[in-house]
């Protein structure tokens, strides 16, 4: 019995340690994000590239204090974002793929975007108390031009991770014309058009966005097949029975249910018979507590939009049915996102 009680005592204390450690991990999580953001801002991963540099060499190149730079580099090693061998630092597989500027899957712009909205989260208490986004000072139409460019570039980085599963799970082989509503950089339109040689596309977004969209289209060599249309998705028409397919990617989480039905009905009006609408979103389960990212993203929308939230599959299905769509199906793409497809 004494041995049993001793074992239970140890087990209880191990569990208590795990619980406390979890709470501390949550509490100082911003330390880790600031290490990553600071290193990205300095361009440390790009500077190191495929080689190895000492702390002194890095400090000299970024015009920083050597002792402080060494501490930053050591923290990056602890986060498995750098390696160290004989006091020289090199990139890991993760940082080589995603943190060296110019690489196809570079995530630096997305990381900077998340840093740009970090201050909003300090107002979470006030937002919960009032139910209003106290951090929201400007409507999207009023946003600073540089902020718009930073946001659209970040959205391109994030979308680049999902173009392959998107192309693999959306059947557009019989489609001739796609509308990409609030398509931002046009990343999905470009990928889908490249995967379907018969497909042309129109990227619909705000007038502050479409010139940036055109740059991405031009850089992809797709100017002959993809165009832009400036407009407001709530106020302006998408046309009548024009499109074979309509993509609504990461848009509906900005709006309330009434506006989302309004957008989906406009999509149906703009679609030919048997056309398909493809909703791409972070989809909650019926409890609205999982996946974790979608639950947290709902708070991000509370903080940063006038009426946004994450929604469940049941809600998306109900809006599609109310808007006149049928044969509704869901496909998970990975990266915490899913597509929900409905037919006219």
Please state which of the ranges 16-20, 80-84, 317-321 shows the lowest mean pLDDT: 16-20
pLDDT tens digits along 273-330: 999 999 999 999 999 999 999 999 999 999 999 999 999 999 999 999 999 999 999 9
Give yes or no for a contact between 48 and 91, defined as CB atoms under 8 angstroms apart: yes
227-262: pLDDT as tens digits: 999 999 999 999 999 999 999 999 999 999 999 999
**73 vs 24, 84, 97, 110, CA distance in Å?**
22, 9, 18, 21
CA-based radius of gyration for the chain: 23
Per-residue confidence (pLDDT) for residue 19, from 0 to 100:
87
Looking at domain 124-343, its CATH superfamily turns out to be Vaccinia Virus protein VP39 (3.40.50.150)
Task: Check pLDDT > 60 for residue 197.
Answer: yes
280 within 8 A of 249, measured Cβ to Cβ: yes
Asked if 245 and 274 count as a contact pair (C-beta separation under 8 A), the reply is no
* DSSP for 68-133, written as a single string: HHHHHHHHHHHTTSEEEETTEEEE-HHHHHHSSTTSTT--HHHHHHHHHTHHHHTTHHHHHHHSS-
User: For the chain, what is the mean pLDDT?
Assistant: 94
Specify the pairing of strand 82-85 against strand 88-91: antiparallel
Q: What's residue 144's pLDDT?
A: 84
The model carries a pTM of: 0.93
258 versus 135: the higher-pLDDT residue is 258
How confident is residue 109, by pLDDT bands cut at 50, 70 and 90?
very high
Fold for 2-103, please state it.
Arc Repressor Mutant, subunit A (1.10.10)
The average pLDDT across 151-160 equals 96
The residue-averaged pLDDT of 185-211 equals 98
Q: Where are the domains of the chain?
A: 2-103, 124-343
Of the candidates 44, 51, 97, the one whose C-alpha atom is nearest the C-alpha of residue 72 is 44
pLDDT score at 18: 85
Angle at alpha carbon of residue 166, lines to 165 and 172, rounded to 5°: 130
pLDDT of residue 4: 52
Q: 5 pLDDT band (50/70/90 cuts)?
A: low
Q: 113 Cβ partners below 8 Å, 6+ apart?
A: 150, 151, 154
Q: What is the pLDDT of residue 162?
A: 96
The pLDDT tens digits of the residues spanning 83-101 come to 999 999 999 999 999 999 9
Structure tokens given for 163:
């173009």
At residue 28, the pLDDT reads 95
Residues 208 and 148: beta-carbon distance below 8 Å: yes
Region for 241 from its dihedrals, namely left if φ exceeds 0, alpha if ψ lies in -120 to 50, beta otherwise: left
Residue 269 CA to residue 122 CA, distance in Å, equals: 42
Report the percent of the chain where pLDDT is more than 70.
94
Judged against a pLDDT cut of 90, whether residue 137 lies above it is answered with no
């Amino acid at each position: 019995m004494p041995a049993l009680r001793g074992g239970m005592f140890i087990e209880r204390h191990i569990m208590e340690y795990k619980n406390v450690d979890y709470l501390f991990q949550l509490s100082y999580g911003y330390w880790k994000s600031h290490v990553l953001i600071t290193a990205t801002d300095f361009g440390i991963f790009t500077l190191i590239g495929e080689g190895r540099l000492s702390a002194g060499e890095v400090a000299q190149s970024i015009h920083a204090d050597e002792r402080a730079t060494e501490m930053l580099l050591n923290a990056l090693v602890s986060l498995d974002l750098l390696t160290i061998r004989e006091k020289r630092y090199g990139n890991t597989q993760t940082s080589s793929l995603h943190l060296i500027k110019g690489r196809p899957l570079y995530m630096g712009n997305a990381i900077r975007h998340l840093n740009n909205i970090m201050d909003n989260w300090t107002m979470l208490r006030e937002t919960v108390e009032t139910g209003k986004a106290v951090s929201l000072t400007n409507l999207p139409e009023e946003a600073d031009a540089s902020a718009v460019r930073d946001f659209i570039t970040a959205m391109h980085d994030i979308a680049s991770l999902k173009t392959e599963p998107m192309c693999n799970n959306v059947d557009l082989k019989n489609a001739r014309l796609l509308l990409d509503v609030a398509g931002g950089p046009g990343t999905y339109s470009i990928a889908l058009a490249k995967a379907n040689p018969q497909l042309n596309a129109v990227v619909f977004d705000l007038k502050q966005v479409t010139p940036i969209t055109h740059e991405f289209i031009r850089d992809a060599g797709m100017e002959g097949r993809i165009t832009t249309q400036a407009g407001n998705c709530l106020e302006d028409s998408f046309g009548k029975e024009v499109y074979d397919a309509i993509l609504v990617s990461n848009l509906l989480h900005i709006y309330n249910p009434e506006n989302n039905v309004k957008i989906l009905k406009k999509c149906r009006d703009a679609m030919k018979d048997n056309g398909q609408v493809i909703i791409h979103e972070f989809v909650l389960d019926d409890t609205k507590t999982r996946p974790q990212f979608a639950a947290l993203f709902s708070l991000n929308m509370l903080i940063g939009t006038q009426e946004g939230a994450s929604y469940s599959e049941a809600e998306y299905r109900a809006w599609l049915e109310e808007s006149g769509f049928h044969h509704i199906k869901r496909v998970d793409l990975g990266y915490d996102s899913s597509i929900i497809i409905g037919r006219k």
